Amino acid sequence: MMKTSCISRELLPKDLISIVKKVENQQRISDKEALTLFKKSSLSLLGTLANQIRERLHGNKTYFNKNIHIEPTNICVFDCKFCSYSRLLSKKQEAWEYSEKQMLEILKNAPKDITEVHIVGGVHPKMGLDFFVSLIKKAKEIRPNVHVKAFTAVELEYICRKAKVSYKEGLQILKDAGQGSLPGGGAEIFDEKIRKNICEDKCTTAQWLAIHEAAHSIGMHSNATILYGHIEKAEHIIDHMSKLRDLQDKTAGFNAFIPLKFRNKNNQMSHIKEVSIIEDMRMFAIARIYLDNFKHIKAYWPMIGKETTQTLLGFGVNDIDGTIDDTTKIYSMAGAEDQNPKMTTEEILHLIKQVKRQPIERDTLYGVVEN
């Protein structure tokens, strides 16, 4: 665990001293200062600052939940270059398309103690608003106490467009059916030039932000993500987080920020080398330092790996997601270390305690689950 004592500033370059002082005094840093930290700071300094913030907000508490994923289909109308998961309608090899009955059966057979079902998948032209309203209503009938976190902004943009409703109207319909919140996927990188290169045909930055703002306006919280470690630069990462910080100032509707590492197996960007664990640590630490209005920074262990997740608990991370129960293929198909992502509660407790942190079971909205 990192020490949280004051940093010896006389050893720092002059342009870092004022930034460190602001962070230690709980003052917001600017985009320019964040970029300076990203480019010039040592990893040990970033880790120390991030850990100071993490321990001020949460002490040693590290959150997890008991959850499963339902991925309705990997057939998708969009063609993201980094995606190893989706299959176009014209290429149905290795594709699946669950019926409503099959998805409800997954939920029926899920562990009895789960508190969340996470529903995301490809954007299928036959799976529209009515289809998902019916699914959510029946899911809540089967497991009324399970929180439904569903649909990335990419899915929602398509669903609302096809149904000819506004984002707010579509989200209200889903909320009335029983949906509780939104995941943070589909954000990728907000810089439009980068998006044009890696995911040109999916929802725009403005649409992603508008959908999450609409959700917040009707009392639906959400998460936010970034896809890092491909063709982006530090400037793009700071710009991305700046847009999220601005929206959080406006709505206070984001629960957690989740950096997602680009994985290069089985996709159109396989020629790009994955970044090292050093860059993972820098990314998460910068996120914790910069996003002063986000309470939680999550390391999604099925994507980043269990050992790296443990390391990141010393670099600003205070949440590691959940038990999963081997119900997601999105990152395993891209070459993530955990090809069958599943952890028992006991394994999660051990993973957290092994690095001297305190495991806390939470629900989707970070209420503590008492056992």
State both tokens at 371: 């056992």
Distance of CA 297 to the CA centre of its chain: 9
CATH number reported for the structural domain that contains residue 196 in this entry: 3.20.20.70
Residue 295 lies in a domain: yes
Mean pLDDT of the chain: 90
Look at residue 147 and tell me if it is in a domain: yes
SS (H, E, C) 103-150: HHHHHHCCCCCCCEEEECCCCCCCCCHHHHHHHHHHHHHHCCCCEEEE
pLDDT in the model for residue 3: 42
Asked, for residue 215, whether it belongs to a domain, the answer is yes
Give yes or no for residue 324 having a pLDDT over 90.
no
CA-only gyration radius of the chain, Å = 20
Q: Of 34-38, 188-192, 329-333, 355-359, which range is least confident? A: 329-333
Instruction: Assess if residue 114 is contained within a domain.
Output: yes
Rounded Cα distance, 14 and 30, in Å: 17
CB 317 within 8 A of CB 297: yes
Residue 336, domain extent: 56-361
Quick one: tokens of 127? 């799976």
Mean pLDDT over 124-130 rounds to 91
- 165 burial via Cβ count (<10 Å: 0-12, 13-18, 19+): middle
Residues 39/357/301/107 CA torsion (nearest 10 deg): -140
Alpha carbons 258 and 223: distance in angstroms, whole number: 8
- 85/66 Cα distance (integer angstroms): 24
- H or E stretch at 228: strand 221-228
Q: For residue 7, what pLDDT is reported?
A: 65
Q: What is the pLDDT of residue 93?
A: 62
Q: Using the predicted structure, report yes or no on whether residue 326 has a pLDDT greater than 60.
A: no
Sign, Cα dihedral of 238, 315, 298, 324: positive
pLDDT of residue 122: 85
Residue 342's pLDDT band (boundaries 50, 70, 90)? confident
Amino acid 99 reads: S
Q: How would you classify the pairing of strands 221-228 and 358-361?
A: unpaired
Q: What is the pLDDT of residue 208?
A: 97
Q: Is 24 contained in some domain?
A: no
* Number of CB atoms found within 10 A of residue 220's CB: 19
Specify burial of residue 301 (Cβ count, 10 A radius: 0-12, 13-18, 19+): buried
Q: Count of residues for the chain? A: 371
Predicted confidence band of residue 330 (pLDDT cuts 50, 70, 90): very low
pLDDT at res. 335: 42
pLDDT in tens, 133-177: 999 999 999 999 999 999 999 999 999 999 999 999 999 999 999
Average pLDDT over residues 331-343: 53
Confidence of residue 334 (pLDDT cuts 50, 70, 90): very low
Q: C-alpha dihedral over 260, 296, 195, 267, to 10 degrees?
A: 10
* Beta-carbon count within 10 A of 348 CB: 23
pLDDT digits (tens, 9 = 90+) for 285-299: 999 999 999 999 999
Least confident span in 188-202, 265-279, 323-337: 323-337
Kindly report the backbone phi and psi dihedral angles of residue 36, in degrees, each rounded to the nearest multiple of 5, phi listed first: -60, -45
What's the order of all strands across the beta sheet hosting 116-119?
67-70, 116-119, 147-150, 179-182, 221-228, 254-261, 296-297
Q: How many domains does the chain have?
A: 1
209-227 confidence digits (pLDDT tens):
999 999 999 999 999 999 9
Report pLDDT for 75: 84
Residue 192 lies in a domain: yes
16: in domain: no
Give the largest CA-CA distance in the chain: 65
pLDDT in tens, 35-77: 999 999 999 999 999 999 999 999 999 999 999 999 998 888 8
Task: Answer left, alpha or beta for residue 247, where phi above 0 means left and psi between -120 and 50 means alpha.
Answer: alpha
Query: Per residue in 96-110, pLDDT tens?
Result: 889 999 999 999 999
pLDDT of residue 226: 97
Greater confidence, 86 or 225? Answer: 225
Alpha-carbon distance of 120 to 223, in angstroms, equals 13
Q: Compute CA 108 distance to the chain's CA centroid, rounded to the nearest angstrom.
A: 26
In this prediction, what percent of the chain has a pLDDT beyond 70?
90
Residue 331, pLDDT score: 41
Q: Is residue 7 part of a domain?
A: no
Please give the C-alpha separations between residue 335 and each of 303, 305, 338, 351, in angstroms, as whole numbers. 9, 11, 8, 22
